Structure 1
């Protein structure tokens, strides 16, 4: 965005049951730039620790733009689709043998992180942990433009068998966007290190 400034918003929360959306970015509450002034393109990165069992990637990314309240302007078909994946990021869907998780990185989307062991060496204990999943989507070929306000959420929806269920996962996210000079925003202060640590 010519003349725009790069902004970011970090969010880290364990989403409670009954609150089915992790808020990735929220710029609705602040002083908006003049009506019609372009606020630019959004880029998203997600890290998810999945403490609950079963598949976690059915939640939709939702983009509420410029006054959307009940329904968003843009909705994805699910987390794995949104970051360019399929088949639960596995080589096959089967209960006959253990599927192999496939990570990948592409220029605009990817799923580069799948970890089941803590490799930080911060503590002298066994390293098994709830799986961590890292993924990203850069909206360069498909920009999301907004003029006045923006709210991006991620549903916390999983699946076991044929049914969907609400999850309570530890999700960290960062949203980047370019914003025209002169517009205000409500980006909170960068949280301290203790608030950014995965549970």
Structure 2
């Protein structure tokens, strides 16, 4: 269960900490083998569904088990449903909180019924800073990359029909501001609904941890590596979303390793993208799934969307962290059919509010996959 993910003095380490470019294992299933593996895939799908159900029950049991605990805090909320007008280049304040506290829940929807305007940006500021520590398209914040919503249920985020929900705790020490910005090519005029729940107590005033969120796109990937996030300071990485659009729909993209560069040392976190996001021996015909801590809710016509939450095993760092993922179609080699299009949303906690990399301008974010930049 997400309970705040406090910063600690621990540092992550793993067996076999040197990055590797290849691994010995059978080649992934390819489309020609679909019939031969159909029964096996069904078995995997059923097993995954049962596992997801059991994990969800466990998480709910932990949460219910703590409901009796009465704290000295008070609750507050901003909840609105109204028409909103944001001209091109304009901004609109969603909510502002003073003093110290912790955001415990944030949801949004508009009457597009899940077809978000891609020019709508979310910026979240902590402690009176002039720069946002979370800066990305609002749809992508919830995992609807590019404004396309695909339902899924995870412990940290949920998309259910047209309701977009975040359960990530967001502490602040001296105020918080949630802002919508329109950096697109038209005015944004529509009815929206949203809510921001906060808790305020004495412990929030001394909590140093701040949530950060960063959006990046490599269209296409350069030199076989896509950077998910990079920062300096002390904190821990908790995961996020990854969408991969492949050039050849029949080619499996998921052989690239996740690389963590922590405080001057590097290691491989999982030997393959498919392993990192909770699936193994996958293929272009692999069925979509969602679970509390990992999922692959979209695998359609070469578009793959995944998420992973390190709730129980965050990647901790004391000085700096850079997380990258390889674009590989075959173990140990760069993309054999040409590099693919990677878009990622990364979240981490860090001491103090820091400035994140700003998303690419609207025209670049909207540029079709593999189209040359003009």
TM-score (norm 2): 0.40
1:148 aligns with 2:319: yes
- Within 5 Å, which residues of 2 pair with 1:39-54? 39-52=235-248, 53-54=250-251
Seen in structure 2, the aligned counterparts of structure 1 residues 148 and 165 have a Cα distance that, compared at 3 Å, is closer
Q: Which of 292, 300, 307 is matched with 1:115 structurally?
A: 300
Matches within 5 A, 1:98-137: 100-116=285-301, 131-137=302-308
| Structure 2 residue ranges without an equivalent (≥5) | 7-206, 370-374
Report what 1:83 is aligned to: 277
2:212 and 2:347 in contact (8 A); partners too: yes
C-alpha displacement of 1:172: 0.2
Report deviation, 1:193. 2.7
Deviation at 1:89, TM superposition (A): 4.7
Deviation of the 1:164 alpha carbon: 4.5
CA distance in 2, matches of 1:190, 1:11: 6
Distance 1:176 1:77, change over 3 A: same
Is 1:59 matched with 2:256? Answer: yes
1:26 is aligned to 230
Deviation at 1:192, TM superposition (A): 2.8
Cα displacement (A) at 1:165: 4.3
Tell me which protein shows more helix as a share of its residues. 2
CA distance in 1, matches of 2:264, 2:332: 33
CA distance in 1, matches of 2:228, 2:332: 26
Per the TM alignment, residue 134 of structure 1 is displaced from its structure 2 partner at its CA by 0.1
Cα gap change, 1:89 to 1:190, in 2 (>3 Å): same
* Separation (CA, whole Å) in 2 of partners of 1:25 and 1:148: 14
- In structure 2, C-alpha distance between the alignment counterparts of 1:193 and 1:115, rounded to whole Å: 25
Please state how far the C-alpha of 1:151 moved relative to its aligned partner: 0.7
Do the aligned residues in 1 keep the contact of 2:252 with 2:283 (CA within 8 Å)? no
SS at match of 1:88: coil
Q: 1:16 to 1:103 in 2, by over 3 A?
A: closer
| 1:177 maps onto 2:348 in alignment | yes
Change (3 A) 1:165 1:144: closer
Between Structure 1 and Structure 2, whose CA radius of gyration is higher?
Answer: 2
Distance (Å, rounded) in 2 between the aligned partners of 1:64 and 1:193: 30
- Deviations 1:77-115 (Å, cap 9, x if unpaired)? 10001111122157xxxxxxxxx4301001010100122
Counterpart Cα distance in 1 of 2:267 and 2:247:
31
Unaligned runs of 5+ in 1: 91-99, 117-130
Distance apart, 1:9 and its partner CA: 1.2
SS of 1:194's partner is helix
Distance 1:89 1:111, change over 3 A: farther
Matches within 5 A, 1:179-194: 179-181=350-352, 184=354, 187-194=356-363
Measure, in 1, the Cα distance between the counterparts of 2:293 and 2:283.
17
2:215 aligned partner: 10
Change (3 A) 1:16 1:80: closer
Structure 1 vs Structure 2 CA RMSD = 2.3
